[in-house]
Structure 1
């Protein structure tokens, strides 16, 4: 069963329909977790009112926070029917939403961040990194990014693993991703599937080395990954009929398998990236997220420390 006791739900002030809140209510109804509906607001014009004193600006900011808190409290009363759920509303003034979410998570020790998401245009995603991406990289707890897909009973859950790697960090993350998927499956009465991609034969090798046999090499790589998947799946009680080993990039293979299964949730491991690599390359989770028509749960390796915890 899912062992999340405290859920932090990021509220979208631009819409009345809060899909992240709906998902949190479903999880809390099955686990008894508490929910905090969190809204981060900021208006630069309030900081530029030089005619006012510091105290007067603070009073104005607090008035806005109080107004949004009233709106949020009313929204919760309208959208949550179950009186047994423990639900709080919290509104903060902060100029960087992702930082306010992570600081709140650290200070109040939340177990899971839940946030609604939508498509990001490719160019905008590179220049203006969305809050979603910051959370995937820097949040110290799992992040559930919610789309429009329903969570039916006996639904399909897809865990993305990298079983062909001998890297210890990948091996540890494979375990965590799979255990998380199994926990959700037990809680939601769903079925866990595993997906693993492997690279095709590099074209330049086939050109530069005439005696190289690309077909034989490709089959050898495929067999290695299939054997590794059989071993990994068996240790978790997952039948090979629910395992998918496909040639290609993860950002192509994972969405294709998710669509084939009509998956309700994809669980994927992610590691933090900073600097140029974060801006230009991102990681698999970030490439995958916009191509999926279902929720994505990103989990970090054990021992991950958010860069905001280091400040």
Structure 2
């Protein structure tokens, strides 16, 4: 018997009000028909629980903080339960570090981590913080970073694949990425689009016949996975810039991209990936590869319905 998919939402350590990532995580759990585990990390000996400088009773401050965290988790879990989400909250007494997050996900045997993106001063949209990058690098499983803003029914997903890497290595990672995206889109009732960039600035890429061959391979790949022709986007340019520019012209709710052994997002998480993930302007699912077990399994799909609908 296959165990249910395990979704893990990492609550911001200072959160005591509702956050959009939890809303998204609850919707996803309900759509997939699986429980949602909510972990709120609170270090009882950390700076966040020490209180103001000069406080006379730091122990009282810490206990008050823990009480607030427990109440927030209880209230949010009750609200999710009312909307049909099976929520399992837990206050974790550990530092809110990427290493602790990754270790906890490993112990919990999570299949997918969900986490809010962080606001950045002077930037219109949110992006990945240094801690987010570290978590993505060391996480044992895929990570979905949720862009803050009004929660909407996810209508359009974009999955990025690399036909150049596919041609060189006979790579199966692209297949794993798109299959995971298809399961997720089906469960959420979202349309799925696929994009690939022909790097026209790379050596030997100016040959028109080479472009045509890559374009044909892209169409064959998309056809094999049942992607409608009008949902295929094969564009020239530098990968990070081209994808970000495309996302600005055609807004999507979620970008799906590979997170290891992939040209766009190498295991070292290079500058190209940073350019894409920090400027996507939407939520991002970074799929860790290779995929031993697809992060989105073929559970019985059901459309997302919000409390306001």
Normalising by structure 2, we get a TM-score of 0.75
**Partner Cα separation in structure 1 for residue 131 and residue 66 of structure 2:** 24
Distance 1:283 1:40, change over 3 A: farther
The runs of at least 4 consecutive aligned structure 1 residues that moved more than 6 Å come to 59-62
1:135 aligns with 2:123: no
Number of residue-to-residue matches in the alignment? 272
SS of the equivalent of 2:172 reads helix
Superposed, 1:1-311 pairs within 5 Å as 5-12=5-12, 13-14=14-15, 16-42=17-43, 43-44=45-46, 63=63, 66-77=66-77, 79-80=79-80, 82=82, 84-120=84-120, 130-148=130-148, 152-153=152-153, 155-165=155-165, 166-168=167-169, 171-201=171-201, 217-271=206-260, 282-302=270-290
Report deviation, 1:182: 0.8
Is this contact kept in 1: 2:244–2:280, CA < 8 A? Answer: yes
Report deviation, 1:78: 6.3
**Partner Cα separation in structure 1 for residue 93 and residue 168 of structure 2:** 42
SS of the equivalent of 1:89 reads strand
Distance 1:142 1:40, change over 3 A: same
Report deviation, 1:185: 1.6
Higher helix proportion (structure 1 or 2): 1
Report deviation, 1:265: 0.7
**Partner Cα separation in structure 2 for residue 91 and residue 260 of structure 1:** 41
* Aligned match of 1:210: none
Distance 1:85 1:217, change over 3 A: closer
Decide which structure has the larger Cα Rg and report it.
1
Is this contact kept in 2: 1:35–1:88, CA < 8 A? Answer: yes
**Partner Cα separation in structure 2 for residue 154 and residue 267 of structure 1:** 13
Tell me the C-alpha RMSD between the 2 structures: 3.5
**Partner Cα separation in structure 1 for residue 48 and residue 180 of structure 2:** 43
- For structure 1, the 5+ residue unaligned runs are 49-56, 123-127, 206-213, 305-311
Q: Deviations over 1:141-162 (max 9, x none)?
A: 1111000366755711101000
**Partner Cα separation in structure 2 for residue 84 and residue 234 of structure 1:** 36
Report deviation, 1:268: 0.2
SS of the equivalent of 1:134 reads helix
State which drifts further: 156-165 or 170-179: 170-179
